[in-house]
Amino acid sequence: MSEENPREALARVSRNLKHFTAEITTVRDEDGLRVSLGGYLDGDAANTVMTPLSDLVMTWAGAPRFVVDLSKLEYISSLGIGMLTTLAVSAHRRSMTMTLCEPQPSVLHVLELLGIPQYIPVIPCEKDGA
């Protein structure tokens, strides 16, 4: 029996969540890792996708850039914030640059209240590629 890779694990666990999606949207490895999060990043979703996302970051062999697209994320809980900060620490340990792109206003408000953009830059999403 073969071991499931982080991309497969993320796809599998995401399918089981009703109000949350996580999708790897990287086009080319030389562009870096790009993941899109959508729906509601509540405690259940954060706990479910944390391990596959962390494994993905820790095994990434492409360019040292990690973009988390939040343009489809409608809600983020404190556990979702914790997941993002844990991923940022993991990325930093791998000498990767992690950024958050285009959070919706309600999500950006929560991020700003907690001072997250001081540690994880918030940027516009690039229209072509990762």
Q: What is the DSSP letter of 125?
A: P
Q: What share of the chain is helix, strand, coil (3-state, %, to 5)?
A: 45, 25, 30
Question: Looking at residue 127, what is its pLDDT?
Answer: 63
Average pLDDT of span 110-115: 96
Instruction: Answer yes or no: is 49 within a domain.
Output: yes
The DSSP code for 19 is: S
Least confident of 45-49, 54-58, 71-75, 126-130: 126-130
Output the furthest CA–CA distance in the chain (Å, rounded).
Answer: 46
| Residue 100 within a domain | yes
Does residue 120 form part of some domain? no
Within a domain: 126: no
Residue 16 included in any domain: yes
Q: What is the domain-level CATH number for residue 108? A: 3.30.750.24
Question: What is the pLDDT, as a whole number, of residue 14?
Answer: 85
State the CB neighbour count (10 A cutoff) for residue 64. Answer: 13
37-66 pLDDT per residue, tens: 999 999 999 999 999 999 999 999 989 999
Residue 85's domain comprises 6-113
| Cα–Cα distance measured from residue 68 to residue 71, given in angstroms and rounded to the nearest whole number | 9
> Has residue 51 been placed in a domain?
yes
The phi, psi pair for 33, rounded to 5°, reads -90, 135
